[in-house]
A and B are shown apart, each in its own frame.
Chain A
Amino acid sequence: MIDDLCDGPCEEEIATAMFYCDFRDQQEQTTTNIIGAILKQLLVRGEVLEHVQQAYQKAKSEVGGRGLRLPDMVKMLKQAVAILPQVFICIDALDECPPKHLLELLRSIGDILRESQRTRVFLTGRPQVETEITESFITGITIPIVPRTHEIEIYLKHKLEMDPERRAMSVSLRTDILRIIPERISKMCVGASTAPISCMLLY
């Protein structure tokens, strides 16, 4: 997604930041650290950096230095997006974010969006976090991601090409794999997507 934003035509400067939630790194992936990681990627202009440098110097001058609290971090991120013409923030795998941090994170994003109408946020996650996301924002878009048949074929062909045990593969087995698996998965996905397709505008 980030790459598409970067590659696509645009008439205005945009700044992008991404974050990948990871259940293996939950200890370190606190809301404050996630917002901080996003902010780091937006330090693309001198004015943005200045705000952060000032806060850093102030914190450093205090006895023993001072760590950042979430409100401080959100404030700095708000200052950054206010300066930049347009900001895209992409956060992947929200279901891997612990519930406590997820709600804080969504609330913080909501805070930022309220002050910057030009900011766009792209989120991905499993269906179990849909409720939290829709409750955190008033309107918005939810797009169900279902693999298309041709995508499954692309993936299978790639995997078959990369198979180190090529001699174990016969032409007929390869043909069957490329025919049957996309067919079966498509049927499964069609079955799964008979639930109403929820396209809901968020925030």
Chain B
Amino acid sequence: MGNSNVNCNNVTTSNKNIVNFNKVIADENPEIMQWLSPLDPRRRHQDVRTDRLDGVGDWLLETNEFRGWRSNGGGADKAVLFCCGDPGVGKTYLR
């Protein structure tokens, strides 16, 4: 298992109900993974996690819009949530 996957597994194993999306499969099937895409967003995700400051962006999680989107309450009508903002406001670092 590569280091990037070790790190990313830590992201996802904090809740037993979460499917461990990086789990080993990527490393067991490198040819297929490369065939699907040469891109590996997990590395960038690790950088973002490292740089993110606690307490920044938490307000979003408390909004009714976010809660409704996440809880699936609105069905297909609330399938997409778009966070829009100028450069540097912290969109990438929303928790």
A residues apposed to B, CB below 8 Å: 1-20, 22, 25, 28-29, 32-37, 39-45, 49, 52-53, 56, 59, 68, 73, 84, 86, 92-93, 109, 113-114, 117-127, 130, 133-134, 137, 139-148, 150-151, 154-155, 158, 192, 198-199, 201-203
Q: Which of B41, B65, B80 contacts A37 (CB 8 A)?
A: B41
Complex alpha-carbon distance, A119 and B69, angstroms: 10
Residue among A14, A42, A59, A73 with the most chain B CB within 10 A?
A: A14
Complex alpha-carbon distance, A156 and B38, angstroms: 37
A145 with B41: CB separation less than 8 A: no
* Secondary structure call for the A interface: mixed
Residues of chain A within 8 A of B95, CB atoms compared:
1, 3-4
Complex alpha-carbon distance, A41 and B20, angstroms: 9
A143 with B11: CB separation less than 8 A: no
Total inter-chain residue pairs, C-beta < 8 Å: 230
A-B contact pairs, 10 of them (CB 8 A): A11-B17, A53-B29, A109-B80, A120-B70, A143-B66, A143-B81, A145-B89, A146-B89, A201-B77, A202-B80
Complex alpha-carbon distance, A44 and B85, angstroms: 33
Residues of chain A within 8 A of B36, CB atoms compared:
36-37, 39-40, 52, 68, 73
Chain B: CB-nearest residue to A148: B59
A145 with B90: CB separation less than 8 A: yes
Residues of chain B within 8 A of A59, CB atoms compared:
35
Q: Which of A2, A9, A13, A122 contacts B83 (CB 8 A)?
A: A122
Q: A118-B72, A123-B80, A145-B85 are in contact. List 15 more A-B contacts (CB 8 A).
A: A3-B49, A5-B70, A9-B15, A33-B37, A33-B39, A36-B39, A40-B33, A40-B36, A44-B21, A59-B35, A121-B80, A123-B82, A143-B63, A145-B60, A192-B86
Complex alpha-carbon distance, A142 and B56, angstroms: 19
Q: Is B32 an interface residue (CB 8 A)?
A: yes
Q: Is B76 an interface residue (CB 8 A)?
A: yes
